[in-house]
Chain A
């Protein structure tokens, strides 16, 4: 049975770029443990002779030619941005002045 600690859940939350309150973390950890115990069922499937080394979909040979076509305009793309300026997305400073 897989076990999961609250610290592991915290680490996962960080990887997922999600924040939880202490109370949410508690509930989450217990729900998570239940789900993990359930999905442990996959170990009851005998997969000894299964080879995954083949392509996942048949369509892989149907790649289209790499031709430039008209796509959305800059204005159309930027229209949904929460914050933009002069046709660019605005983000907080990511590289300090004089930094790398």
Chain B
């Protein structure tokens, strides 16, 4: 474990100095993947592709060729990100045989940075879920305690990073799908500003909320990866022309910066141990020179309702394309073209996906559109105004990532609403479109990780790295996860 337990930026230095080759490192990761197969973190392993890339990078390095920021480093991507020639299943039976005919921009950027893509991660089907139990290929398990869920939907990405199978992973986050699993598995999870990273080639769930981000073992690793995957893409008109800063050059000083605390995040539902960890983190920041500011987000507790209306409406529309004709699985028996649609969709989609399609079509149907969808879009605007007012008083907002630690497998799977409520602190961030990061900040008495969420203004990921890294370097609990 001398090499595998390094963070991405540490292994980058070891590769650069020739202490280890990429082929050696890739083989170690492949070995570790086999060794930790029980957590079911990956849907497919790209062994040949990874070894071929590693070999090429080693040769290029030997020949003195200029290499990219992730040269030779094994990375995992979530299985809703297309990589040409590999299966992209979205953890759905519908796509169990789908082979990507092209590569997503974010994956291409990893390849262009000479990363070694080693596998494709398990997830909740079509990224809908908070526990990874909605995978057609079986639930991923939490490496910290295999009785517990790793969180979701990017549960496989988080579990893989936490189990030292790779040095970083890409996930997607529509309502907390990077931050919640990061929190449950004790890793760093970043959801960038909406528009920071291209969504081209990433299978759409809720297009106005989806964003690609990173899962890593350190804050700096996240900054290095974000720098690689960010930037405008002509194939995604919602990707922004906003300048991509030198994220990996993290400022270390937080003196005089203001940290906002909203009482709405610290309500009675918050677990005592989580609350204590957050209180510790807040006093840490105060001790290190940050100024604490009280802010108010009065509509925060309505964000989850807003989210389920908007995200389901978009999901119902996005998933209408799955017809059993052009790609995906087709039912074996059907009477006519309509029956083909009915049968293929009913057999191909899992229960949660069906529920969201139904809810989406409900809120979009005539008679309900104004009462639900339009009302939710208006409430979204109110939430944006409240966050904007809060950010006029502070540089970063701190909150718990989740109200509780990882729950047991099966604990919430029969009650959709209790599962949805897991995301109550992460969902508002997607509704507002700002960046946020979950960072390990302690453990409970059973040794399960606790995460805190840092939230910044639009395009201000630098502030998250700044507040995140000082904590990670100097707070005892951050190292203890």
- Interface residues of A, Cβ cutoff 8 Å to B: 9, 12-13, 15-20, 28, 31-32, 34-36, 38-47, 50, 52, 56-60, 62-64, 72, 76-77, 79-83, 89, 91-94
Contacts and interface: CB of A to CB of B under 8 A. Distances in A.
A59 B302 contact: no
B380 to A, nearest CB: 9
Given A35-B308, A59-B237, A72 B101 contact: yes
A52 B374 contact: yes
Contacts of A20: 346, 354
Interface in B319-333: 323-330
A64 B359 CA distance: 34
A17 B329 contact: no
Contacts of A62: 237, 241
Nearest to B353: A18
A17 B331 CA distance: 13
A42 B379 contact: yes
B101 A50 contact: no
Interface residues of B, number: 61
- Interface SS of chain B: helix, strand, loop or mixed? helix
A89 B327 CA distance: 9
B382 A46 contact: yes
A47 B379 contact: yes
Which of A9, A36, A41, A93 has its CB near the most chain B CB atoms (within 10 A)?
A: A41
A40 B302 CA distance: 9
Interface string B365-393: 10000001011111101100000000000
A45 B379 contact: yes
Contacts, number: 149
A12 B377 contact: no
Closest 6 CB pairs of A and B: A82-B330, A47-B378, A80-B327, A41-B305, A45-B379, A50-B378
Contact of A41 (B302, B336, B337): B302
Contact of B325 (A17, A19, A40, A91): A91
Contacts of A56: 208
A64 to B, nearest CB: 5
B234 interface: yes
Most buried by A among B306, B316, B349, B381: B381
Nearest to A21: B346
Given A62-B237, A81-B327, A50 B361 contact: no
